[in-house]
Amino acid sequence: MGSLEKSQSLPIIDITSYLSDHDPEGRLSTSSAIHSACLKHGFFYLRINNFADPSEPEDLTKLAREFFALPEDEKAKIAFQNEDGARGYARLKENVTNGKADNHEAIDFYRPVDNPDKTRSLWGENQWPTVPGFKEKYEAWVEKMKALGLIVMEAMANGLGMTPEEWEGLRAQVDRSFWVMRVIGYPPLPDDHDGFSCGAHKDYGCLTFLYADPTRSALQVLSKNTSGANQAVDKLPVETGAEVGTWINADPIEGCVVVNIGEMWEVWTNGLYKSTLHRVVHRGSNYRIPFFFEPNFDAKVEVLAAARRLQSGQPKGEESDKKYDSVVYGEFLLKKVGGNFAEGKGKYD
């Protein structure tokens, strides 16, 4: 019993077979494990210790600690309101989810754009802390996570039975990923806080790779599969929408990132994969770094034929009905980002 078992209710999948060309069987089983995890949970652990040295994210955490320890007026020098309303620092409780202030502070970075214009939402420039080494170390992490994004996307395409041509088509929607990197500082959530460290939400895009500090029971994932015999759960009520289920802890595992799929995967798979609600109840004081590998800003995301073949039960023939309208990722993102800040506080609300 105990928290380890809770963690293990989400599968642990090793990406090593996709790091070389020499393991076709390993790739097959990795892809099918990811496929099952996406069908069942929308969440899994990805073992990446053969891809990224564990000391790298630890360095990032130290740099984050240095920045967040600065006086508020120093941090305000890179406030998101000074830029495009999205890129930069957001103070404690400035982010809002489901109408309630989130008990965290954060810096958001996005893919740089060709002709920055800070009067357009999302279209400005990243604001980097002056903490020595911050920009270099974080930029190196972005490069790593972008590469990992493409690798996991290919594994997922294989798991869905996409042809090589179909994978090329999907790849072309994510090869200029409009990625987001957040550096989040969580102070301990007080008992009387009306809300969460981060309220229940789905991620917006494609794949989230979360490097998490060791604080346990912080990230909680909504599980609709409550019948698992071994599944230790926190029987907490679910307060958003019509969703029913139980919250399970996704505690960090050494050498792994926590991966979850965003809403664009629901569209691509015609609802076969569900993007899962999650929230954060952080009782400690620490730093977490989610990297969001997202589609290209102008990607037209539409139901994939491979998903419709799977749904019809005839992998070579018939296709199921289309249940999702297509979405331009950047338009979807703009709406989401517009709702992320308290009324009157955001620049473009």
Contact characters 164-193, ligand HRG, x per CB under 6 A: ----------------x-------------
Q: How far, in Å, CA of 109 to CA of 90, rounded? A: 12
Q: Does 97 bind ligand HRG (CB under 6 A)?
A: yes
* Structure-block tokens of residue 198: 């981060």
Stretch that binds Fe ion, among 3-11, 144-152, 196-204, 334-342 (CB under 5 A): 196-204
Q: How far is CA 135 from the centre of its chain?
A: 21
Question: Which of 6, 144, 182, 274 touches ligand AKG by CB under 6 A?
Answer: 182
Question: Which of 94, 108, 203, 294 touches ligand AKG by CB under 6 A?
Answer: 203
- Burial of 22 from C-beta contacts in 10 A (0-12 / 13-18 / 19+): exposed
End-to-end CA distance of the chain: 47
Q: How far, in Å, CA of 325 to CA of 19, rounded? A: 35
* Structure-block tokens of residue 326: 């297509």
- 210 touches, from Fe ion, ligand HRG, ligand AKG, none (C-beta below 5 to 8 Å by class): ligand AKG
- 309 touches, from ligand AKG, ligand HRG, Fe ion, none (C-beta below 5 to 8 Å by class): none
Q: Does 17 bind ligand HRG (CB under 6 A)?
A: no
Q: Does 210 bind ligand AKG (CB under 6 A)?
A: yes
Q: How far is CA 76 from the centre of its chain?
A: 26
Stretch that binds Fe ion, among 93-101, 172-180, 198-206, 325-333 (CB under 5 A): 198-206
Count the site residues for Fe ion by CB under 5 A.
Answer: 1
Q: Does 111 bind ligand HRG (CB under 6 A)?
A: no
Looking at residues 68 to 127 of the shown chain, list those that interact with ligand AKG (rule: CB under 6 A). none
Question: Which of 57, 85, 129, 290 touches ligand AKG by CB under 6 A?
Answer: 290
Q: Does 203 bind Fe ion (CB under 5 A)?
A: yes
Smallest CA-to-CA distance from 47 within 17, 8, 18, 13 is with 13
- 95 touches, from ligand HRG, Fe ion, ligand AKG, none (C-beta below 5 to 8 Å by class): ligand HRG
Q: Does 278 bind ligand AKG (CB under 6 A)?
A: yes
Count the site residues for ligand AKG by CB under 6 A.
Answer: 12
Stretch that binds ligand HRG, among 39-47, 144-152, 195-203, 220-228 (CB under 6 A): 195-203
Q: Does 63 bind ligand AKG (CB under 6 A)?
A: no
Q: Which residue is it, tokens 């917006």? A: 204
Contact characters 228-267, ligand AKG, x per CB under 6 A: ----------------------------------------
Q: Does 86 bind ligand HRG (CB under 6 A)?
A: no
Q: How far, in Å, CA of 120 to CA of 124, rounded? A: 7
Tell me which residues touch ligand HRG (CB under 6 A). Answer: 95, 97, 180, 198, 201, 203-204, 292, 336, 340
Applying CB under 6 A, the residues found at the interface with ligand AKG are: 182, 184, 198, 203, 210, 212, 218-219, 278, 280, 288, 290
